[in-house]
Amino acid sequence: DQQVKQNSPSLSVQEGRISILNCDYTNSMFDYFLWYKKYPAEGPTFLISISSIKDKNEDGRFTVFLNKSAKHLSLHIVPSQPGDSAVYFCAAFANAGGTSYGKLTFGQGTILTVHP
Amino acid sequence: GAVVSQHPSRVICKSGTSVKIECRSLDFQATTMFWYRQFPKQSLMLMATSNEGSKATYEQGVEKDKFLINHASLTLSTLTVTSAHPEDSSFYICSARRISNSPLHFGNGTRLTVT
């Protein structure tokens, strides 16, 4: 049962344009969401997160949007740069009591390629 | 800079042997660390939660006798894959959080290949 889904295995974008990566979830108990970036043979690197009490969080070129009613979140990268090329994972967990903080459920990942 | 260090980054072993992977938190103490596994083209899957000074908590379907976890100190957790088989070949990643409610930081992972 895939509780976090990234339905686009890959995305190709021109440098300078916007990259939009999407993520859907099914577990209504999830209340905290994160995006990680991963290069081959390396561990994921935290990018940005959002709590379910918000619908938007922005950090530089990265913005995450959360639509709770649709159980959907997206990561916007503007402007996209070739160095952004990597695999992007969304992840979620149910924070109730804080005890399950490390029990992230990951999506399958989306390979982003930014062309110069 | 890196806050979680994992070693080794790559290991090749023969079927039937055991392999130990180390995960260290750098400049902070981690009472809890997490071990994930990633198969090719799949998402990271939580294997177990490593608790300092107590037994690890394993996710459903993960064999605790095969994947031995030891969290002997506040900065070190180890995962030992015992009697490894080719199907254990995977990318193993550990993670920890610096303080409560901070994002998880991941090590660089270990690529295990069992021949």
A:B CB pairs within 8 Å:
60
Instruction: Give me the residue from A44, A102, A104 closest to B32, CB to CB.
Output: A102
| DSSP H or E run through B58 | strand B57-58
| Chain A residue with minimum CA distance to B106 | A43
Contact A49 B103 (CB under 8 A): yes
Kindly state the greatest CA–CA separation across chain A.
45
Digit-coded pLDDT (tens) for A58-88: 999 999 999 999 999 999 999 999 999 999 9
| Contact assessment for residue A11 and residue A110, using Cβ atoms and an 8 Å cutoff | yes
To which residue do tokens 């997206």 refer? A74
Q: Per residue in B42-100, pLDDT tens?
A: 888 999 998 888 889 999 999 999 999 998 888 999 999 999 999 999 999 999 877 66
Between CA A114 and CA A12 the distance in angstroms is 6
Three-state secondary-structure class, residue B91: strand
- pLDDT above 90 covers a percentage of chain A that reads 75
Name the residue among A27, A21, A47, A23 with its Cα closest to residue A93.
A27
Question: Is A84 within 8 Å of A114 (Cβ atoms)?
Answer: yes
Q: Which residues of A touch B4 (CB under 8 A)?
A: 43
> Which residue numbers of B have CB closer than 8 Å to A's CBs?
4, 6, 9-10, 32-34, 41-46, 49, 93, 95, 97, 100-101, 103-109, 111
Inter-residue contact A60 to A71 (CB < 8 Å): no
Q: Computed from CA positions of residues A67, B105, B50, B88, in that sequence, does the dihedral angle turn out positive or negative?
A: positive
Helix, strand, or coil (residue A81): coil
